[in-house]
Amino acid sequence: MISKDTIDNVFEAARVEEVIGDFVNLKKAGANFKGLSPFTDEKTPSFMVSPVKQIWKDFSTGKGGNAITFLMEHEHYSYPEAIRYLAKKYQIEIEETQQSYEEKQKSDERESMFLVSEFAKSYFADILWNSEKGKAIGLSYFRERGFSDETIKKFELGYALDEWTAFTDEAESKKYEIDFLDKTGLTIVRENKKFDRFKGRVIFPIHSMSGRILGFGGRILGSDKKAAKYLNSPESLIYHKSKILYGLYQAKQSIAKEDNCYLVEGYTDVISMSQAGVENVVASSGTALTADQIRLINRLTNNVTVLFDGDAAGIRASIRGIDLILEQGLNVKVVAFPEGDDPDSFARSKSFEEIDAYLKEKSQDFIQFKTSLLLEEASNDPIKRAELTRDIVASIAKIPNNIQKEIYVQECARIMNISESVLFNELSQILKRGNREVRQQARAKTPFTGVKKEIKKAEKIDQLFQMEKKIIEILLLYGNEEVDFIDFTSETDEDGRKKIVKAQYSNAVCKEIYMHLQEDEIEFTNPVFLKIYYEMIHLLNQEQHISADLFTNHEDQEISAAVTDILMEEEKYSLSDWEKHNIYVKNKENYLPKLVMDVLYNLRRLLIAEKIHVLKSELKEPETAAVDLTDNQETLESIRDYTALKQLLFEKLNRVL
């Protein structure tokens, strides 16, 4: 167990904007930060972070909370893991009891696989630096590639001994179960045999965005032609090759800072470029680029520069990735290295200044790149030129932004010397075909049944829930404030006429609300709001301040989530930049007394209306007038009294019944 002091120190040190900023590209929005949701594929920001309140809210999914809950949602950490991650980030020493072997066994499968992978990373690194064979073979190889010791440690590179069961034997001696060694792919199990997958290879650990070890890549150093040059971990519960970018953990801060991501193909490309000073670089690890990988980049920036080898055949094979990036709404630039060079060799032969200058000078728009590449093949052949033009327009069609589409069409018309109207016509036809295919696919999935689809009615708003939520919001934001209240009471004059009398007094907001709810014996109907309210009343009775932090960092996840949702609701408007359109939101503090009384009166009004409804349902159908008077008289009097009270509340709210 992690000690309470450690947890308190972590909460005190952690800054939610810093923690989330490691995973999401955040931009200033008034007093807050906003960015694209890391949980959905969206083009417009709906993710909000409040440094003042130290909470976040994703309006596209409804998720929210503090720094801990973000790590639990985004990285699928358990609560203790999230605490450990933040303790490491903020260099806080963790006080905890030693985890026993029995406790390790109780860990779920996913966590066990992470533990095994973390052990493997440390083991391979230890072999590389501290064993004779590791230094002579693995470390020598990395140094021959030009990697400095600092770089080798930064990427946590390692070496697996060229022995059949060296790693497996060591892991089992440390009580790691063969079942999880098998499931992570570190050990290959065949009937009664077991052996190391990466034997005799230098090791490239593959990290998640937060730094957890997901899998490994291994490069063979021997001359065995039957063995694959590179070998990766197999797909598993924690390793999905199509959803991972190599080097993203090391590059994420640089990508966000530079607002650009360089995309290469292999491990050594990333490492050499990073060592040369170009740190905002990641690799697809030899796989065809996927939409999931692009979305990872999009969390940090919407600008991608694809770096191609000087090999023309390789460039053509990789062009599909550009269309996929465009389809995801990112801006694409392309740089091709001189023939015979790749990012690895180029970075090792040049200084940072030379690399930086080359990347800036040779960076091309994707249309310029595509036309310059394919026009050589088309030459003066009109048919090939027409095919090239259609190919480029098909790429433009994938861009979600209509303004960008039009600009690219104009650029294409200029380069290809074709009228814009012809290209716009071709673009229109491509888009129509795409829309038709989408409709056909949708119809195929939902065949016509002959029954007209019923239009779903809008759900009725739960007004009582909204009133209770508003009371909790007021208590969280303004519960400790002392304000001047104005109340209205009903009095009868000498002539028997009722009149409204105005009364003014000072009170703390929390005490005023508590007094009214106690007086009317009102209980919250929502169980989560009720728990929050009881804890607030406890603070009030102890003469302590109501602090939002106590609830956003609450151990009860229901309470934490509900409070975060309430506190971030008022920040939602800043996502739309309403002030730019001369739309200004009232400051609640300017009319706080009225806000408090209005919500209390409205809550009473709703409860009274519900009570009247119940009483009316209890009225009996009379058989005779006498029965009506005797059986219903008391109920009718109650309805009359509640209706009069309801009338008074409407007068206080300045409404008409």
Q: For residues 27 and 49, what is the distance between their CA atoms, to the nearest angstrom? A: 10
Cα-only R_g, the chain: 33
Structure tokens at 350: 């040049």
Segment (H or E) for 365: strand 364-365
Distance of CA 390 to the CA centre of its chain: 37
Q: Are 367 and 423 contacting, i.e. CB atoms less than 8 angstroms apart?
A: no
Q: For residues 424 and 29, what is the distance between their CA atoms, to the nearest angstrom? A: 37
pLDDT at residue 283 in the model:
95
b/e code 152-177 from CB counts within 10 Å (16+ = b): beebbbbbbbeeebbbbebbeeeebe
Please tell me what DSSP assigns to residue 278: -
The pTM assigned to this predicted structure is: 0.68
Structure tokens at 512: 């005023």
* Average pLDDT of adjacent 10-residue blocks, the chain of 657 residues: 84 91 88 88 87 88 89 83 90 74 61 93 97 97 96 97 96 95 96 93 94 94 81 93 93 88 95 97 85 88 88 64 88 90 94 96 87 71 84 88 88 87 89 73 53 47 84 89 76 69 81 81 85 87 82 85 84 58 53 83 80 75 54 71 66 52
Amino acid, single-letter form, for residue 41: D
Which residue carries 């639990």 as its tokens? 72
Q: For residues 68 and 47, what is the distance between their CA atoms, to the nearest angstrom? A: 16
pLDDT at residue 654 in the model:
60
Please tell me what DSSP assigns to residue 450: S
SS3 143: helix
Amino acid, single-letter form, for residue 329: G
Domains of the chain from N-terminus onward: 4-89 (3.90.580.10), 105-239 (3.90.980.10), 248-439 (3.40.1360.10), 459-577+586-657 (no CATH)
pLDDT at residue 620 in the model:
66
Strands 303-308, 364-365: pairing kind: unpaired
What size, in residues, is the chain? 657
List, as own/partner pairs, every contact residues 148-156 make where C-beta atoms lie below 8 angstroms and the sequence separation is at least 24, other chains included: 148/275, 151/271, 151/274, 151/275, 152/128, 154/250, 154/274, 155/204, 155/205, 155/247, 155/250, 155/271, 155/274, 156/121, 156/125, 156/205, 156/207
pLDDT at residue 584 in the model:
46
Q: For residues 48 and 59, what is the distance between their CA atoms, to the nearest angstrom? A: 8
Q: Are 499 and 490 contacting, i.e. CB atoms less than 8 angstroms apart?
A: yes
Q: For residues 633 and 625, what is the distance between their CA atoms, to the nearest angstrom? A: 11
Q: How many helices (H) and strands (E) does the chain have?
A: 29, 18
